[in-house]
Amino acid sequence: MTERRTLYPEIQPYDSGMLDVGEGHQLYWERSGTPGAKPAVFLHGGPGGGISPNHRRQFDPAKYDVLLFDQRGAGNSTPHANLDANTTWHLVDDIERLREMCGVEKWMVFGGSWGSTLSLAYAQTHPDRVTELVLRGIFLFGQSELDWLYRYGASELYPDGWDEFLAPVPQEERGDLVGAYRRLLTSDDHQVQLRAAKAWSKWEGVTVTLLPDEEMLAEFTEDQHAIAVARIENHYMLHRGWLEEGQLLEGAKKLRGIPGVIVQGRHDCCTPPRAAWELKRAWPEVELNIVPDGGHLYNEPGVLDGLIRATDKFAGN
């Protein structure tokens, strides 16, 4: 068996700053790698997850010039966990502002989980600005995907975690969990909001790894991280990503001619492989790599191997 690829060595950004995108939002951004090398943009998950130092390490620093940024309300962007003027289409516009700031005509777009959704929305809106797509853990905002996470599906595999997810919600409100959580996460009572945020974020944490990871769950339920992820993610789930049913599959025809790689864990319980398979059917040119021992997270060995092989593949293009 070929040895699996791992992260490139630790690297510090060569530049960083804040970009005012209007409507009260300031985005934190950073650039890593070699100035003037192959341009790429990294789109984090969540929504609301933010970037981390290891995200920079999925690209050969000698061959890439990568822009990473915290989306509206996430990470070091301000105002923290804010829901105003925070939609998929605001973020698509933000990516264009960042591209113009970087002074590049086109770039590779790399995104996992919610980042795959945003990558597809951006690429279908601005196909002439995308050289390649590298995607992980496809999420298309279909009703079946929402039901899997918040009605039935994942709860069958993790009944213990599901009971913890239900706990903050009164019995009479459990017919619409996303709506019930919206009320809790926008409560004027900070403790109510925090309890709900931790439960929401922990439920996601339970579903994203093939094997339990206590360190990752602790990170997911840290106060500031949980508040941002839960509030913003719930906001997007409530509004179905501001996407019509099937919109990203229908729009896949706009991706014809754009090279792409999808890395999908076979045992991904957060974004099951069905969506990746449907996207492959709608976009036959894309290379679909289903990792037989992979879950959802980018740093699981087989998934990471696939992602780094994909960025290496496109490094010289």
Take residue 291 and report the two structure tokens written for it.
């990792």
Choose the catalytic residue: 44, 94, 296, 305. Answer: 296
Measuring CA to CA, which residue among 83, 67, 75 is closest to residue 24? 83
Strands 64-69 and 130-136: unpaired
Question: What integer pLDDT is reported at residue 317 of this predicted model?
Answer: 76
Helix H or strand E segment including 249:
helix 247-250
Helix axes 190-207, 177-185, angle to 10 degrees: 140
Measured between alpha carbons, how far is 89 from 205 in angstroms, rounded to an integer? 26
Helix axes 190-207, 159-166, angle to 10 degrees: 160
Measured between alpha carbons, how far is 253 from 279 in angstroms, rounded to an integer? 10
| Max Cα distance, the chain (Å) | 57
Q: Which class is domain 15-143+242-314?
A: alpha beta
Helices (H), 263-315: 274-282, 301-314
Choose the catalytic residue: 113, 116, 119, 155. Answer: 113
Question: What integer pLDDT is reported at residue 212 of this predicted model?
Answer: 82
Residue 282: count other Cβ atoms within 10 Å of its Cβ: 17
DSSP single-letter state for residue 3 = P
Q: Do the beta carbons of residue 210 and residue 300 sit within 8 Å?
A: yes
Take residue 44 and report the two structure tokens written for it.
């984090």
Residue spans of the domains in the chain: they are: 15-143+242-314, 150-241
Where residue 137 falls (left for φ over 0; alpha for ψ -120 to 50; beta otherwise) is left
> In a structure prediction context, what are the per-residue pLDDT tens digits for the chain, which is 317 residues long?
589 999 999 999 999 999 999 999 999 999 999 999 999 999 999 999 999 999 999 999 999 999 999 999 999 999 999 999 999 999 999 999 999 999 999 999 999 999 999 999 999 999 999 999 999 999 999 999 999 999 999 999 999 999 999 999 999 999 999 999 999 999 999 999 999 999 999 999 999 988 888 998 999 999 999 999 999 999 999 999 999 999 999 999 999 999 999 999 999 999 999 999 999 999 999 999 999 999 999 999 999 999 999 999 999 87
Measured between alpha carbons, how far is 140 from 271 in angstroms, rounded to an integer? 9
DSSP single-letter state for residue 11 = -
> Is residue 113 flagged as an active site residue?
yes
Cross-strand pairs, 65: 33, 39
DSSP single-letter state for residue 78 = B
> Is residue 296 flagged as an active site residue?
yes
> Is residue 147 flagged as an active site residue?
no
Q: Do the beta carbons of residue 118 and residue 98 sit within 8 Å?
A: no
DSSP single-letter state for residue 144 = H
